[in-house]
Amino acid sequence: MATVTLIEYKVASAEVRAVYDDIMATRKTDRINNFWKALAHHPPTLRRTWESVKEVMAPGALDPLTKEMVYLAVSASNGCDYCIASHTASARRQGMSDEMLGELMAVVGMANETNRLANGYQIEIDPMFLSPSS
């Protein structure tokens, strides 16, 4: 159970409602997730986090599906249940198939394994990897 009260739209301040309205308009939905309702207890964090997420997840050199899968990969590595659940759903909406999810988690698992092998043996970085833009 959340350690702060979730702020529903109908009791929200004008400042919070403005963010909620932008979230719903941007995402073409009429609901607000618990994540934003919890952040709303501290309006500056709600606003800043939403604006950052909106900017970072917009289409660019990477497409929205790739961004959602990267978000899910990080969340799975960090063990954030909320973010895993919400970004698995978001990635599916963007077109992630079961096969793609399967391959994504396989890469996540393998990276977590080899990260610890490389650290565990304190392996020196090959000089060829050490030039920027290499």
Which residues ranging from 68 to 97 are in contact with a second copy (CB under 8 A)?
A: 69-86, 88-89, 92, 97
Positions 43 through 72 that interact with a second copy (CB under 8 A): 44-45, 48-49, 52-53, 55-57, 60-62, 66-67, 69-72
Positions 95 through 134 that interact with a second copy (CB under 8 A): 97-126, 128-134
Rounded CA separation 19/68 (Å): 21
Does residue 30 bind a second copy (CB under 8 A)? no
Taking the least distance from each CB to a second copy, the nearer of 21 and 80 is 80
Q: C-alpha distances in angstroms, 16 versus 6, 9, 49?
A: 12, 8, 12
b/e burial code for range 61-74 (CB count within 10 A of at least 16 → b): eeebbebbbebbbe
Virtual torsion, Cα 24, 29, 30, 33, nearest 10 deg: -70
Does residue 13 bind a second copy (CB under 8 A)? no
Does residue 9 bind a second copy (CB under 8 A)? no
